[in-house]
Amino acid sequence: MDVNLYDFHLPEELIAQTPLKERSSSRLLTLNKQSGAIGHHTFKDIVNFLNPGDTLVLNDTRVIPARLFGVKEDTGAKAEVLLLKNLEGDRWEALVKPGKKLKKGTVILFGDELKARIEEEGDMGARIISFAYQGVFQEILDRLGQMPLPPYIREKLDDKERYQTVYAKHEGSAAAPTAGLHFTEELLDEIRSRGVSIAFVTLHVGLGTFRPVSVEVVEEHEMHEEYYSLSRETAELLNETKARGGRIVAVGTTSCRTLETVGTACAGGPLKEMSGWTNIFMYPGYEFKVVDALITNFHLPKSTLVMLVSALAGREHIMTAYQEAIDRKYRFFSFGDAMFIY
């Protein structure tokens, strides 16, 4: 399957640079995955599309201040490190800039209290680095690190918490699960009051979010592994939801990937408590085992996320909906508007 089937022209002015003042005041495009029918709403209206007996599944990962700015120890030249995955102890997988000049053995200084050494080189700026410091690493990172906003966001974020969901709990992500940014505590309470259950999974967003599809054939793309966890409590609630005929509504592609990873491992049987690393890649032809509906943002052209939503709703329906969103000037990407596929 040609990657270019998932390409479209996106005017740069539609890339949202800042979050809205009110989280749930963003726009909501609804798409019926069977008929292709499209509707236009405000995100608060999501309550009208959720039924008693449904379960909403949220990713409770928390973004760490993973972007560090330092200098090379030998030359004083500027260097940037984006932490992606804690391997063990003080060893991390990271992206670095400038990639061509940060070779194995290079030492980077971040002020007087943190030092990094590059241990291994990968492709496209990927590195394995080890840190040396005095004190508690997380406290140092909180002081020195910056929120790892995507490269297409050039405006400064005044409030760091606006790049966290209101239910963010488990630290470990290099990017926010952005579909969840639209929810407020009040909206979640209203959803619960309508007989909809809320469950949590964890997927720490990593390198897969930043890596573009560089192959020409969809099937040849390899997803990067990300850590996920689904608790026994969530597994039991989801099994009960299916048994009573309710829908499982994933909030975001990260929740969706977690649910489908577990569903695949359980081979269509009851879901079980599970954690580990997933590189699941969903594109048209994939048969969903757990997720019935999806709340998501609008994604980059030719991205694995456009392929994922196309797997759920069909490529033609998605491309038609995206063009309508562009025509109506919806806001795209991390701080943009939302879409509900049902």
What pLDDT digit, counting tens, does each position of 42-84 carry? 999 999 999 999 999 999 999 999 999 999 999 999 999 999 9
CA nearest to 254, candidates 301, 202, 211: 202
Cβ burial of 233 (10 Å; 0-12, 13-18, 19+) is: exposed
Pairing mode of beta strands 27-31, 338-341: parallel
**Do 30 and 15 touch, CB atoms closer than 8 A?**
no
Handedness of CA 146, 141, 225, 79 (dihedral sign): positive
* Residue 150 confidence (pLDDT): 84
* Lowest mean pLDDT, pick from 115-119, 143-147, 230-234: 143-147
pTM for the whole structure: 0.92
Cβ-in-10-Å burial (0-12, 13-18, 19+) of 319 comes to middle
Output the pLDDT for position 209: 61
Distance of CA 87 to the CA centre of its chain: 20
Residue 243's DSSP bridge partners are: none
Q: With both helix axes pointing from N to C terminus, report the angle between 315-327 and 304-313 in degrees, rounded to the nearest 10.
A: 110
- Please give the pLDDT value at position 208: 65
Q: What is the pLDDT of residue 160?
A: 87
Cα–Cα distances in Å, from 232 out to 190, 199, 220, 262, 274? Answer: 25, 11, 34, 12, 8
Which of 65, 145, 70 shows the shortest CA–CA distance to 115?
70
Looking at the predicted structure, is the pLDDT value of residue 134 above 70?
A: yes
262, 271 Cβ separation under 8 angstroms:
yes
pLDDT at 158: 86
Q: What is the pLDDT of residue 123?
A: 76
Mean pLDDT along residues 141-151? 91
- How sure is the predictor about 125, in pLDDT bands with cuts at 50, 70 and 90? confident
Q: Is 193 exposed, middle or buried (0-12, 13-18, 19+ CB in 10 A)?
A: exposed
Mean pLDDT (the chain) is 95
Write down the pLDDT at residue 207: 66
245 burial via Cβ count (<10 Å: 0-12, 13-18, 19+)? exposed
